[in-house]
Structure 1
Amino acid sequence: MGFLVVKRNRCHVMKRSKTLKQKDYDILAELVRDGRITYTELARKVGMSPAGVLKKVRSLEEEKIILGYTAILNHEKLSKKLKLLIFVKCSAGKHSIVARQIKKVAADSILEIHEITGDYDVVVKAVVKDRNEAKDLIAQVSSIPHVVSTSTSMVLDTVLERPSIAPS
Structure 2
Amino acid sequence: MATFDDIDRHILLELQQDGRLTNQELADRVGLSPSPCLRRVRHLQDSGVIAGYTAVVSQGAVGLEITAFARLTLLSHTPEVVDAVEAKLRSVPEVVEAYLLAGDDDYLAKIVVDSFATYEELLRTDLRAIPSLASIKTTFAFAVTKPLSPLPIP
Fold shared, TM-score > 0.5 on shorter chain: yes
Task: Name the stretch that deviates more: 80-89 or 27-36.
Answer: 27-36
Measure, in 2, the Cα distance between the counterparts of 1:138 and 1:163: 29
| Structure 1 or 2: more helix by fraction | 2
- Which residue of the other structure, out of 61, 83, 100, is the alignment partner of 2:87? 100
Summarize deviations over 1:75-126 as a string: whole Å, max 9, x none.
Answer: 111011100001100123244531222211x22x121010011211001001
Residue 167 of structure 1 deviates from its aligned partner by 1.4
1:9 corresponds to: none
Q: Does 1:158 align with 2:144?
A: yes
Does the residue aligned with 1:72 lie in a helix, a strand or coil?
Answer: coil
Report the RMSD for the aligned CA atoms in angstroms. Answer: 1.6
Measure, in 1, the Cα distance between the counterparts of 2:101 and 2:2: 29
2:47 corresponds to: 63
- Assess, with a 3 A threshold, how the Cα gap between structure 1 residues 135 and 89 changes in structure 2: closer, same or farther: same
Checking the alignment, whether the CA contact within 8 Å between 2:73 and 2:133 is kept in structure 1 is yes
Summarize deviations over 1:27-75 as a string: whole Å, max 9, x none.
Answer: 1011112111111011111111111111111110111100111000111
Checking the alignment, whether the CA contact within 8 Å between 2:84 and 2:131 is kept in structure 1 is no
- Unmatched 5+ residue regions in structure 1? 1-16
Measure, in 2, the Cα distance between the counterparts of 1:58 and 1:137: 41
- Which residue of the other structure, out of 53, 62, 72, is the alignment partner of 1:88? 72
User: Identity over aligned residues, as a percent?
Assistant: 26
Checking the alignment, whether the CA contact within 8 Å between 2:71 and 2:138 is kept in structure 1 is yes
Q: Does 1:121 align with 2:114?
A: no
Equivalent pairs, count: 150
| Structure 1 or 2: more strand by fraction | 1
Correspondence list, 1:126-165, <5 A:
126-139=111-124, 140-162=126-148, 164-165=150-151
Q: Which has the larger radius of gyration?
A: 1
Greater relative contact order (Cα < 8 A, sep 6+): 2
Q: Name the amino acid aligned to 2:41.
A: V
Summarize deviations over 1:131-160 as a string: whole Å, max 9, x none.
Answer: 111001222111221111101111011101
TM superposition score normalised by structure 2: 0.90
Correspondence list, 1:41-80, <5 A:
41-80=25-64
Measure, in 1, the Cα distance between the counterparts of 2:96 and 2:103: 21
